Amino acid sequence: MNHDAFKVRTDVFRVNVRMRGAGTPKPELKPFRKALCTFHDLEIMAVNIYRFQTTAEKTEHNRLLIAALLNEMTHVQDFQVKLSEYGFRPSMFRWAYWILGMTLGLVSRMLGRKVVLKTGIWVEQKAVRHYGELLESVGWDAETRQVLEKDREDEMEHVRMWEDLLKPESNRRE
């Protein structure tokens, strides 16, 4: 499979940014805040995993890690915007996810390419599961749901890409 055909960053226009949750009682907004903070925290972790897995070597694997890093950075931006649109702030504990991502990235890099790929698969599969759960647990508006579904598809593509790279050269999807 040609993973280069995958769109890493989506277009966002000023018209896509709007104020959300107006007129909704605060207790009804609590699940939105919790879900958006969870997404934001986990995407920060994913960014740092890829950031710290990347080496200075000019390899195809590093190129794909950098593309995944860019994609995850757009997810962080997606959730920063959604938090702001609802009038929320990110979690005060997002620094812990930053450190966890750095740790997972560095340790997997030290253990080698195969562990880097397996770590990517494991983390992205967990992200796909989280997206599924949080998509169903909150009554998202259509525009926010579309962003969440697109980001979930991105995570699914990362799983496919890392799984393909784990396969021996002769068994890879074309």
Q: What angle, 0 to 180 degrees and rounded to 10, lies between the N-to-C axes of helices 94-111 and 113-137?
A: 150
Model's pTM, two decimal places? 0.90
- DSSP string for residues in 148-174: HHHHHHHHHHHHHHHHHHHS-GGG---
Residue 102 lies in a domain: yes
Cα 64 off chain centre by: 15
Residue 153 lies in a domain: yes
Residue 21 lies in a domain: no
Residue 49 lies in a domain: yes
Q: What share of the chain is helix, strand, coil (3-state, %, to 5)?
A: 75, 0, 25
Residue 7 lies in a domain: no
Measured between alpha carbons, how far is 128 from 139 in angstroms, rounded to an integer? 18
Q: What is the pLDDT of residues 3-39, one digit of tens each?
A: 766 777 888 889 989 999 888 888 899 999 999 999 9
Is residue 172 very low, low, confident or very high in pLDDT (cuts 50, 70, 90)?
A: low
Residue 67 lies in a domain: yes
Count of domains in the chain?
Answer: 1
Predicted confidence at residue 10, as pLDDT, reads 83
Is residue 170 very low, low, confident or very high in pLDDT (cuts 50, 70, 90)?
A: very low
